[in-house]
């Protein structure tokens, strides 16, 4: 089974990224034909500085490789290293009804957040469809907010197949049910949009400061507390073993266990998991040539995988 996923290099990756998508993807690389691309074309809808985009692309690659992506098992590549994606996006655009894109809630949400109403932002789902269809993906891990875009991909694949014959496989969405909403510093969903994230590899002093600033209620040390829905406990469950999580929950319910204790336990659990990742990332960062080799090889193999599809597409449309 071919599984494909992508991520925009539009900001530093955070705990929500790791537990929301990255970890489940790493689990799949032992069983699936996993393609992971860094969506630097997509990021251009919001990132308008070349150096920033280049550095952010490199940082995403380092984060994924440090946290468990194995280039010997999986394919990691830059979207821009497969120019055929843009070519396919044009062919799909010629079949895409305006109304289909106008109904996409993601576009409306981004406009509401103050982003410019550009063609790139409006046509984002078409480029996403090209990313997926060109690789003939079977499965696409997506968040619930991206599920509609996967439905657009399936619609466009069907329109192309109906017009030109069977060329594209229809991909299915994979939404991990076990991943709950990951709370940020303020209790809302952890998101760059809300400025409430804890980055995967920011300075350890900064991480400690952020963890200790997580918003809690005003219950005192001795008072019993309900762990479910408590941001500290919900975050701790992500890092801890089931036994450790149960122990913290029991401590909260008994009383005599303060939020300060829980925050320290959360910090310890973070370091236990991420300190080895941090050390690996630092080693990778010291060898930019090897990182570039990994990405270039990934791009070469991705173009190789896309070539048979593009040959069929060009022949089908008459080019």
**178 Cβ partners below 8 Å, 6+ apart?**
none
Residue 39 CB coordination number (10 Å): 23
Query: Is 257 buried (19+), middle (13-18) or exposed (0-12) by CB count in 10 A?
Result: buried
Q: Tokens representing 276?
A: 């080895």
Q: Tokens representing 299?
A: 């791009």
Distance, in Å, from the CA atom of 94 to the CA atom of 123, rounded to the nearest integer, reads 12
Q: Which one of 110, 210, 237, 263 is the catalytic residue?
A: 110
Q: Which one of 12, 73, 159, 189 is the catalytic residue?
A: 189
Residue 110 annotated in active site? yes
Distance, in Å, from the CA atom of 151 to the CA atom of 173, rounded to the nearest integer, reads 8
Distance, in Å, from the CA atom of 94 to the CA atom of 262, rounded to the nearest integer, reads 55
Query: Could you give the 3-state DSSP secondary structure of residue 314?
Result: helix
Nearest Cα residue to 276 out of 58, 14, 66: 66
Q: Which one of 12, 192, 264, 280 is the catalytic residue?
A: 192
Residue 12 annotated in active site? no
- Cβ distance 88 to 307 under 8 Å? no
Query: Is 189 buried (19+), middle (13-18) or exposed (0-12) by CB count in 10 A?
Result: middle
| β-strand partners of 4 | 35
Residue 189 annotated in active site? yes
Q: Which residue has the tokens 């875009």?
A: 149
Task: Calculate the CA dihedral of residues 119, 48, 289, 25 and round it to 10 degrees.
Answer: -50
Q: Tokens representing 243?
A: 């036994």
For residue 258, CA distances in Å to 216, 234, 270, 296 come to 10, 15, 19, 50
Distance, in Å, from the CA atom of 198 to the CA atom of 207, rounded to the nearest integer, reads 7
Catalytic residue positions?
110, 189, 192
């Amino acid at each position: 089974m071919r599984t494909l996923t992508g991520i925009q290099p539009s900001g530093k990756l955070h705990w929500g990224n790791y537990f929301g998508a990255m970890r489940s993807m790493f689990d799949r690389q032992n069983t699936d034909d996993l393609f992971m691309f860094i969506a630097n074309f997509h990021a251009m809808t919001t990132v308008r500085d070349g150096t920033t985009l280049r550095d952010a692309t490199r940082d995403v690659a380092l984060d994924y490789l440090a946290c468990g992506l194995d280039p010997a098992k999986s394919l990691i590549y830059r979207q821009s290293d497969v120019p055929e994606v843009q070519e396919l996006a044009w062919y799909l655009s010629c079949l895409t009804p305006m109304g289909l894109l106008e109904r996409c809630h993601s576009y409306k949400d981004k406009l509401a957040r103050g982003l410019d109403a550009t063609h790139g932002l409006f046509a984002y789902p078409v480029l996403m469809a090209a990313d997926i269809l060109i690789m003939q993906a079977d499965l696409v891990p997506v968040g619930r907010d991206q599920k509609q875009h996967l439905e657009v991909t399936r619609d466009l694949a069907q329109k192309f197949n109906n017009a030109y014959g069977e060329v594209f496989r229809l991909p299915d969405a994979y939404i991990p049910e076990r991943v709950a909403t990951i709370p940020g510093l303020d209790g809302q969903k952890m998101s760059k949009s809300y400025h409430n994230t804890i980055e995967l590899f920011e300075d350890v002093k900064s991480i400690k400061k952020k963890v200790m600033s997580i918003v809690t209620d005003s219950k005192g040390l001795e008072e019993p507390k309900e762990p479910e829905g408590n941001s500290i406990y919900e975050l701790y469950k992500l890092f801890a073993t089931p036994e450790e999580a149960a122990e913290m929950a029991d401590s909260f319910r008994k009383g005599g266990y303060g939020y300060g204790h829980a925050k320290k336990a959360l910090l310890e659990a973070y370091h236990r998991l991420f300190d080895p990742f941090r050390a690996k990332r630092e080693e990778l960062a010291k060898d930019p040539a090897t990182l570039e080799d990994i990405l270039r090889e990934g791009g070469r193999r991705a173009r190789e995988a896309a070539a048979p599809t593009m040959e069929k597409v060009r022949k089908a449309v008459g080019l």
